[in-house]
Amino acid sequence: MIQNSAINGLRVAVTGGTSGLGLALVRQLTQDGARVAFVARSAGDVEQVTTETGAIGIVGDVSRKHDIYPTALQITGNLGGLDVLINNASSLGPTPLVPLADTDCEDLEEALAVNVVGPFRLTKALLGALAAAAREGRGGTVVNISSDAAVNAYPGWGAYGASKAALRHMTAIWDEEVSDAGIRFLSVDPGDMDTPLHALADPDADPSTLKRPADSAAEVIEAFLAVRPINDAIEQAVSA
């Protein structure tokens, strides 16, 4: 069960925040009192989710190099810093899914740009803010959304699986390298969910066999709360 008091006042950024797991995270976090900024490509969708949740919507594409620093500045500027970054935006690569031998190089590049290079660039741009949060006793946490395709070789899922495998290993390296700064990195597999992305990958899947995004969102939140320091810094900041 999520402890609302542990979420209240957290400064959280979520990429891919207008659909599927990302939208469920934005809804749950804002409901429990977090200060949330989310990023997505469609201005119309961003406006709709902003109106619904009260979160701060940012129009940006994490796969585009020139979008990264403006996005990072808007995140920290609007939130006054950052405690948690959730790299959730994902690309399947080619759709419908095809074997690697039939995958165009451009489709592989897209999967890598969204699923690996984008999170890498955004994390680098926000690392200073996360380190500052850790020094202030608020903790600094990065959650990279992975998949079982990162560890299992599923035919047809080559571009997606290879990119998620790279993200998963990169997460482990980041965690080793910045642990002295008090920043934690987590790779979380949310499971097969009933989302537009999954429907695009597997149109014949029975939605009743898939997890609800809200349930996966709760698990992701529990995972990062479990590694965060227990202190009163956030509560004091909120009540000040």
Both tokens of 228, joined, read: 């965060």
Residue 41 CB partners (closer than 8 Å, separation 6+): 59, 60, 61
170, burial (CB in 10 Å: exposed 0-12, middle 13-18, buried 19+): middle
d(Cα 16, Cα 19) in Å, to the nearest integer?
A: 7
Q: Active site includes 160?
A: yes
Q: Which of 38, 160, 185, 224 is catalytic?
A: 160
Structure tokens at 127: 């690392």
Closest by Cα among 211, 204, 232 to 21: 211
| DSSP class per residue in 22-33 | HHHHHHHHHHTT
CA distances from 238 to 9, 234, 235 (A): 6, 6, 5
Alpha carbon distance 92, 96 (integer Å): 9
Integer CA distances (angstroms), 214 to 27, 41, 108, in order: 9, 22, 29
Catalytic positions, written as ranges: 160
